[in-house]
Structure 1
Amino acid sequence: MEIDSIDMRNYRCVEKQDGAYIVAVMVEDSYYLQGSFCAILIVGIYLALASCCMVYMLSKVMKEKDEKEKFRYKSNTDELTRCYNRRAYEEDINKLDLTKEWVYISMDLNGLKNANDSFGHAAGDELICAAADCMKNSFSEHGKVYRVGGDEFVVIITKDILQFENILSTFDQRVAGWHGEFVESMTVSYGYVYSSERKWKSIFDISKASDERMYESKKQYYTRIGIDRRR
């Protein structure tokens, strides 16, 4: 619609053609549009900053969580064998429920002292790591493997208890089939106890009984091969 005359005080932008005004933008409308644009711009900047802050905080939380998990893994893992260490063992052993069925296995390498004396500590480390690998490959799917001393290990089986004899047989086969760079072969003495064997007073009684059976197995091994047990 053409307008013949307008009040110039109320308009910011006008254009005239053939004596009539064809474009007129009111000052109030112009200010309103500018204000809306500024408001949208401010909101956009705020949302962008808020998003950046959220991303930063999320990445910080994830980094802290990752660092905590790494610290926990390192503090609970034996450096040489990558088995769980004694600290993890002490934590987990107190969580075991005597009313549930599980198996406690005490394990000890045979001939470690002889390997160290004859071939050096590299041979001893080879034996320890090889035994640990056999244990992890055989038992990790069914429980946890802990290195609690130099050549002393504990395995706690909490899954597939009915298949335990087969699981143990698999471990025996792995040990028998191992051959190393420094040492030709290895043997491992062990004793184990079912939590369901009888009504135990404490978990300590189970670990003690398992150790006694392991030492009896070790005694029989050294008697059989005719070597001093201390070696």
Structure 2
Amino acid sequence: MTGLPNRRAFEEYMERIRTGEVGCRDAVLTYIRLEGLNERNDRFGLQAGDEAVIAAARCVADFCRACVDGGESVSCFRTGGNEFALIRPEPRANSGQLHRQFSAIVARYNRTCAPRARITMTYGFSRLCDEDGKSRSISAWKAEADAYLKRNATRLGGDTE
């Protein structure tokens, strides 16, 4: 439906990072969640929900293209119904800058769509390496990104599961 690689591709890529096949010293994992999907489905129907997921995926894909155009390597995935993941090996830009860029892409979409089609997305970032440059386990890396995602969703009054 979205044209993005799925959860299996994400897990395979994470395994390639763990085994060193990707060959990066550090990477940033970003979890992104489309908020309010269940409410949209209930209120407007499944087609409206599907349209929101497609719009969110387009925003993710637009962001990935912008990163590549800016010299960043990035891989993007749809990991669940309303969930996406980005992995940036050897990141150049900091996560705050990238968050602002992604937010601008979502804001541009929201300015151009019908009011009922507007989307809200939350983010959670984590670096593979800690402050001392030591690699974390893949599970710890994922858990930290997920914890930040849930914290940011809670701040917006979004889903926490």
Give the TM-score band, short-chain normalised.
Answer: 0.7 to 0.9
Q: 1:122 is paired with a residue of what secondary structure?
A: helix
* Deviation for aligned residue 1:165: 3.6
* Deviation for aligned residue 1:183: 2.5
Query: Aligned residue pairs: how many?
Result: 146
Q: Report if aligned partners of 1:190, 1:213 keep a CA contact under 8 Å in 2.
A: yes
Cα distance in 2 between the residues matched to 1:165 and 1:217: 14
Offset from partner CA, 1:88-122 (integer Å, 9 cap, x none): 11111111149712100011111111110111111
Offset from partner CA, 1:99-153 (integer Å, 9 cap, x none): 7121000111111111101111111111111111111111242311111111011
Cα distance in 1 between the residues matched to 2:135 and 2:90: 20
Q: Counterpart of 2:142?
A: 207
Q: 2:116 is paired with a residue of what secondary structure?
A: coil
Q: Counterpart of 1:84?
A: 5
Q: How does 1:63-212 map to 2 (within 5 A)?
A: 80-96=1-17, 97=20, 100-140=25-65, 141=68, 142-158=73-89, 160-162=91-93, 164-179=95-110, 180-181=113-114, 183-198=116-131, 199-212=134-147
Cα distance in 2 between the residues matched to 1:83 and 1:136: 8
- Code of the residue aligned with 1:188 in structure 2: it is M
Q: Report if aligned partners of 2:27, 2:91 keep a CA contact under 8 Å in 1.
A: no
Structure 2: tracts of 5 or more residues without a match: none
Q: Report the RMSD for the aligned CA atoms in angstroms.
A: 2.2
TM-score by length of 2: 0.80
Q: 2:150 is paired with a residue of what secondary structure?
A: helix
Identity %: 27
Q: 1:162 is paired with a residue of what secondary structure?
A: coil
Q: Which has the higher contact order (CA 8 A, sep 6+)?
A: 2
Q: 1:92 is paired with a residue of what secondary structure?
A: helix
Q: Report if aligned partners of 1:109, 1:131 keep a CA contact under 8 Å in 2.
A: yes
* Deviation for aligned residue 1:84: 0.9
Cα distance in 2 between the residues matched to 1:168 and 1:229: 19
Q: Counterpart of 1:216?
A: 151
- Structure number with larger C-alpha Rg: 1
